[in-house]
Structure 1
Amino acid sequence: MTHALTETGPEGSRRAPSGRRGRTPRKRRRVWRWIALSLVLLLVTAGGVGYWLYSDLNGNIKGVDLDKAIGDDRPEKLPTSGQNLLVLGSDSRAGANGKLSGDTAAGARSDTALVIHIPEGRRQAVAVSIPRDTLVTRPACTAKDGSALPSAKRVMFNSVYSLAGPACVVKTVERMSGVRMDHFVEIDFAGFKGLVDAIGGVTVTVDRDIHDHNSGLDITAGTHKLDGTQSLQFVRTRHGVGDGSDLGRIGLQQQFMIDLLSEIKKQDLLGSPTKSFRIADKLTESLTTDSGLASLTKLAEFGRSMNGIDPSTMETIMLPVRYDTQDPNRVIAAQPQAGQLWQALRKDEEIPASAKKSPATGGSTRTGASTS
């Protein structure tokens, strides 16, 4: 009689014959090896995608080495931990951008220039607008085509960007003010159309109806959420506010810049620039910065360091100017007010009330619509 080939354990239990022992463990080990390999492949792939996304966003940001472009002949840094940031709103209306406004003039212009002073403690900032029609002395720079651009007196401030780019604008602002610009950020107005749409619009409040056939803006007094196209119309509007000059437009540009910064802060786009790829892509696509901010990591660090500042409480004033006696369509810095303003920023001190009065606007510190 043939007996089953079984073995009995110490408790009388049966075990598989030694010839079959180990097949199941080996099979399990193969399964676990495949699972482990799959996980490794998944992690490598995910890491590769993450790195690609990071590199793509990082590559969007255009950086300018200010020290190399300007040289060593620059004002000293603030004696405190305060900082000065030059924000430029550039407006290229050539090609596709021109179709947004009906203006296809070649080249790009710096339509907005804000010196944002962040005092020690970084709790409340002040933004000083420099009117684009201000006559200034342009220092010697390198033109966009690489040729030497000699110094020139009585040139329009916004022509500096057109001829020589942002580094020369920084150099011009430093020469006229004696204030060191620690960083600069340039926002392409046409490019931020996509950013405004991506973040769901920017809310602004105006205290009067604005009907500007030139820019296309047509809104009533009150609060409005503007999409990308309307936002471009808003920052380009001047005929529908004030006296129709560039000074009237400054108030709207100041307001929109602060409302945009408030929305960026609310969504923590600088503190966490990769939280939404679509929004971060549009944000970084519209930016040119100095090399000290030209990466996601540096931009996020700077954004977090500014976390205590609420853009909605930022004080906005205009560089005190008066109309030029030789050309009434241009303005020049008004003295002693402008000198007092720049001195306060150089020393990181409170700006005196006298330095906020602009003869060209009847002594008021702000023009255009009210801030929201």
Structure 2
Amino acid sequence: MPAESTPEPGIPGVSGTSAPRHRVKGRRRKTRSTRSKALLITAWTAAGIVVLGGTGAGILYFKLNSNLKSVDINQALGSDRPTKVDNGSENILVLGSDTRSGSNKKLGGGADDGSARSDTAMIVHVYKGHKKASVVSVPRDTLVDRPSCTDTKGVTHDATSGVMFNSAYSTGGAACAVKTVESMSGVRMDHYVEVDFSGFQKLIDDLGGVRITTTKDISDSDSHLNLKAGTHTLNGKQALGLVRTRHGVGDGSDLGRIQLQQAFIKALVNQVKHVGVLSNPKKLYDLADTATKAVTTDSDIGSVTDLASFANGLKGISSSNMTMVTMPVQYDSANANRVLVDKAKAELVWKALKNDQPIPKAATHGTATGTAKGVVSAP
């Protein structure tokens, strides 16, 4: 921290279905199983930490601005988008990125070629009043029609049908991912947040770990995770292993992994709200520094002041006011490693978000699910 005689300026004005899963015989796609998947977890935590940093402790230095990376989604996509609904709600697309560059190389597995993939996506709908939220996880193995899109470098990518959802990001980055979500749902994304492996892991360590309870043993050599049934305080490496694991518990599907991720998010949100860092300026700054390095945002929230203002609107949402569902899908009869959008039921989800209404239970009744529900919870 700077000497007292030359204080760094802070940011003024910021206050404090249960269908059985059948595996296809043959070679398992191991490289896919070792990638992923740190997601809303880091984004929500980053938002919370940035808010804490503005509560009068004076630790949000201009230096944090240089940590943030942003992309201009609005310029890339232009006007060919769903109409923005002005009803006080917000929709945020949160993606997990496993870039193969920098410190993520040793965490992601696969080719260290500097490329990036997004194997996890969540649509976060914050309701009017910002006291409640619904989170819709989009399985990365969903077969979709990817629309034509222009990425942030001005390169246009042709439309294609029947491809995995996560190909949108690997093809055209953030802009194409947003375009695909908007085309699929008819819901405009107001903001975009992307998080990465190394930032997630370090953030959990900076927080002092996260306490969770498991009802079953979890053992997965792919994600390097071994947990006995019981209560644990996970460090960053273990937490990353938990949100990445597929074969350690349940049916080995991406849907099961989503169930683990959603449970972990709730445990993390609870902990962030009670983390005692205001009395420890160094810890608070370290958290803010890690959080701002871990995220890439849309340009509308691409500065510390804008991100803090955005996060300030989320801090009233507790885990008990978060509804978490998986986008309605059914297993693809032609390939058990893929799922298809259940369009009729998915439309119930998109209609609810557009109208700022709760997602009806009928939307997910009888749809495909994993078998990991209830395995992880907050202690």
Same fold flag (TM > 0.5): yes
Unaligned runs of 5+ in 1: 1-40
Aligned with residue 92 of structure 1, among 95, 99, 120: 99
Is 1:300 the equivalent of 2:308? yes
Match of residue 165 from structure 1: 173
CA distance in 2, matches of 1:319, 1:333: 8
Match of residue 7 from structure 2: 46
Q: How does 1:259-338 map to 2 (within 5 A)?
A: 259-267=267-275, 276-338=284-346
Aligned with residue 124 of structure 1, among 132, 137, 150: 132
Match of residue 50 from structure 2: none
- Determine which structure has greater relative contact order: mean sequence separation of CA pairs < 8 Å that are 6+ residues apart, divided by chain length: 2
Q: Choose 1 or 2 for highest CA Rg.
A: 1
Match of residue 16 from structure 1: none
Match of residue 371 from structure 1: 377
How many Å apart are 1:327 and its aligned residue? Answer: 2.6
Query: Retained in 2: the 8 A contact 1:79–1:347?
Result: no
Is 1:174 the equivalent of 2:174? no
Q: How does 1:20-39 map to 2 (within 5 A)?
A: none
CA distance in 2, matches of 1:83, 1:96: 32
Match of residue 211 from structure 2: 203
Aligned with residue 232 of structure 2, among 224, 227, 245: 224
Match of residue 81 from structure 1: 88
- The DSSP-based 3-state class of the residue aligned with 1:359 is coil
How many Å apart are 1:125 and its aligned residue? Answer: 1.1
Partner deviation per Cα, 1:37-64 (whole Å, 9 max, x = no partner): xxxx974x32489999723211111111
Letter in 2 for 1:207: T
CA distance in 2, matches of 1:53, 1:297: 9
Partner deviation per Cα, 1:134-170 (whole Å, 9 max, x = no partner): 0111111235775321111111111111121112111
Letter in 2 for 1:220: K
CA distance in 1, matches of 2:10, 2:342: 55
Aligned residues: 328
Query: Retained in 2: the 8 A contact 1:78–1:348?
Result: no
Partner deviation per Cα, 1:191-236 (whole Å, 9 max, x = no partner): 2211111111122222211111111110122222111111111111
Match of residue 51 from structure 2: none
How many Å apart are 1:342 and its aligned residue? Answer: 0.8
Match of residue 253 from structure 1: 261
Q: Compare 70-79 and 333-342 and name the one that shifted more.
A: 70-79
Q: How has the CA–CA distance of structure 1 residues 70 and 369 changed in structure 2, closer, same or farther, with 3 Å as cutoff?
A: farther
Q: How has the CA–CA distance of structure 1 residues 298 and 252 changed in structure 2, closer, same or farther, with 3 Å as cutoff?
A: same
Query: Retained in 1: the 8 A contact 2:243–2:260?
Result: yes
TM value normalised by structure 1: 0.80
- The DSSP-based 3-state class of the residue aligned with 2:377 is coil
RMSD: 2.9
- The DSSP-based 3-state class of the residue aligned with 1:329 is strand
Is 1:64 the equivalent of 2:71? yes
Query: Retained in 2: the 8 A contact 1:197–1:227?
Result: yes
CA distance in 2, matches of 1:358, 1:225: 35
- The DSSP-based 3-state class of the residue aligned with 2:347 is helix
CA distance in 1, matches of 2:239, 2:154: 34
Letter in 2 for 1:246: D
Q: Compare 219-228 and 45-54 and name the one that shifted more.
A: 45-54
Letter in 2 for 1:229: K
Q: Compare 292-301 and 305-314 and name the one that shifted more.
A: 305-314
Unaligned runs of 5+ in 2: 12-57
Letter in 1 for 2:263: Q
Letter in 2 for 1:135: L
- The DSSP-based 3-state class of the residue aligned with 1:214 is coil
Identity %: 48
Aligned with residue 345 of structure 1, among 353, 365, 377: 353
Query: Retained in 2: the 8 A contact 1:101–1:233?
Result: no
Is 1:149 the equivalent of 2:110? no
Query: Retained in 1: the 8 A contact 2:9–2:61?
Result: no
Q: How has the CA–CA distance of structure 1 residues 368 and 78 changed in structure 2, closer, same or farther, with 3 Å as cutoff?
A: farther
Letter in 2 for 1:184: Y
Query: Retained in 2: the 8 A contact 1:248–1:368?
Result: no
CA distance in 2, matches of 1:143, 1:284: 23
Q: How has the CA–CA distance of structure 1 residues 328 and 77 changed in structure 2, closer, same or farther, with 3 Å as cutoff?
A: same
Q: Compare 315-324 and 348-357 and name the one that shifted more.
A: 348-357
Q: How has the CA–CA distance of structure 1 residues 89 and 212 changed in structure 2, closer, same or farther, with 3 Å as cutoff?
A: same
Q: How has the CA–CA distance of structure 1 residues 74 and 88 changed in structure 2, closer, same or farther, with 3 Å as cutoff?
A: same
Letter in 2 for 1:140: S
Q: How has the CA–CA distance of structure 1 residues 274 and 358 changed in structure 2, closer, same or farther, with 3 Å as cutoff?
A: farther
Partner deviation per Cα, 1:250-269 (whole Å, 9 max, x = no partner): 11222233333444443499
Query: Retained in 2: the 8 A contact 1:250–1:367?
Result: no
CA distance in 2, matches of 1:144, 1:72: 15
How many Å apart are 1:319 and its aligned residue? Answer: 0.5
How many Å apart are 1:312 and its aligned residue? Answer: 4.7
